Structures are given as structure tokens and as C-alpha cells.
Amino acid sequence: MTRKELYSQVLSFFAEKMPEADTELEFADTFQLVVAVVLSAQCTDKRVNMVTPALFRRFPNARAMAESSADEIYEYVKSVSYPNSKASHLFEMSKLLVERHNGEVPSTMDELLALPGIGRKTANVVQAVAFGRSTLAVDTHVFRVSHRLGLVSKSANTPFKVETELTKHIPDEIIPRAHHWLLLHGRYVCTARNPKCDDCGLCNLCKDYLTRKPSPTRI
């Protein structure tokens, strides 16, 4: 099977099974999305969604957060992973949003990456979800699923290389959804430990599964 054929079949499968795939983070505007994505680093969306309602009531926008302190923000986010650094990043990010962007979240990659706590993955999520750009964030789930399915080469050993290969083969108009397809498949089916191969509709296409599958016993 050619790489083009593999992509076609995988994307068709996801389009049928998850036509409305979207982020599981809960937010009301772009600022809240950025905050939620920053908090979600090495933390589950479920945990983030437990924290953000109270956080957003206290800090509904960048100005409110910029007028606070990292210590106060910490009290709201202390149950997520790395709360000290995340609280500090959110405080500094909010101050820069107010100082440079009138409290609004910018839409360009360079401007997003200039904000504390914002890496390429977070910037790609914000651009895709908030601004409808054809960007694909590569987290651990996307990285794992892409390699297991054989969508990317073995030499794609960094998130950026995986992103580059995926976006080369996925049509621009479905790139944002493809991120969620791969992420959700990795989160619930193609898990890091004990992947649910028996429940996966892509086994017949999966390079990793076909490699591990025992050969039929000959009589």
C-alpha cells in the first residue's frame, strides 16, 4: 500500500467515525482556550476542566489575571501538574497580553510563541481551534498514533518532524480535525500501554499491529 493510499483510508475512517471531533477542553473565548491549553501540558483534560471554572470566574480575562499574582493563580491551579511554573507562566503571559496586545490573544505563530508558557504545540492548538488555521499540534498521542499506523517515517523522531510529514499528506481543510482524530484515538483506543487493538477499526492498516500479529500456524 502506498503512503497516499494509507492516508486516504485512515482519514476516511476517522471522518466516518468522528465527523465532529473537537477539543475536550472547556472554554468560552480565546483567552480561556490559551489558559486551558497551557494547563493541559502533561495533565489530563478532565483535570483541567475541573480547575478552570473557578479560575475563569476569578480571572475572566487577561487584564484580571495580570492584576493578580502568580501566588494567587497557583491557589486555583495547584491540583494540575507543575502548578508553580504554570501559575507563573499564566501571570507573565497575561501581563504581556495587556502590554502588547490590549488584552487580546494574537493570532500569528511568532506572536504566540513570544508569550511565556506557549510552545509550538500550544500555538498550533490556538491557531487551529480559535482562528481556524490549518495547523496540527503534535502531542504524545498524535506522535504515538502516527508512528504506530505508519503515517510517518521512523526518521520523524521529533514532534516538529511528525507535524511536517503529517501536514504534507493531509489536505489543509481537514488538518485541524485530523489533530483531534489522532489525539482522541490515542487517548481512548491506541493507548501508550495496552492499546485496545481488538476495538480498533484500523488494525488491518496499522503497521505496528501487523508487525506484532502472530503468523498463522501451518499444519
Task: Tell me the pLDDT tens digit for each residue of 171-198.
Answer: 999 999 999 999 999 999 999 999 999 9
Least confident residue range of 51-55, 69-73, 202-206: 202-206
Helices (H), the chain: 3-17, 30-39, 45-58, 62-66, 70-77, 83-101, 109-113, 120-131, 140-149, 159-169, 175-188, 207-212
Looking at every residue in the chain, the average pLDDT score rounds to 94
Q: Exposed, middle or buried: residue 138 (CB in 10 Å: 0-12, 13-18, 19+)?
A: buried
Average pLDDT over residues 69-94: 97
Residue 195, amino acid:
P
C-alpha cell at 127: 491557531
Rounded CA gap, 96 and 102, in Å? 9
Is the pLDDT reported for residue 219 higher than 50? no
Predicted local confidence at residue 153, as pLDDT: 95
Is the pLDDT reported for residue 214 higher than 90? no
Residue found by looking up cell 491557531 in the block: 127
Q: Exposed, middle or buried: residue 209 (CB in 10 Å: 0-12, 13-18, 19+)?
A: middle
- Contact criterion met (CB below 8 Å) for 86 and 41: yes
Is pTM beyond 0.85 here? yes
Reply yes or no on whether 161 is catalytic: no
Per-residue pLDDT of 103-162, as tens digits, reads 999 999 999 999 999 999 999 999 999 998 999 999 999 999 999 999 999 999 999 999
Active-site residue identified among 22, 139, 154, 199: 139
What domains can be seen in the chain, in order of their start residue?
3-21+138-212 (1.10.1670.10), 30-131 (1.10.340.30)
- Contact criterion met (CB below 8 Å) for 189 and 199: yes
Is the pLDDT reported for residue 208 higher than 70? yes
**Which has more pLDDT, 175 or 214?**
175
Predicted local confidence at residue 215, as pLDDT: 54
Rounded CA gap, 20 and 120, in Å? 24
Angle, CA of 181, 33 and 125, to the nearest 5°: 40
Active-site residue identified among 17, 29, 86, 121: 121
Predicted local confidence at residue 216, as pLDDT: 52
Distances (CA, A) of 66 to 57, 63, 73, 149, 187: 14, 5, 10, 44, 34
Q: Exposed, middle or buried: residue 216 (CB in 10 Å: 0-12, 13-18, 19+)?
A: exposed
Reply yes or no on whether 78 is catalytic: no
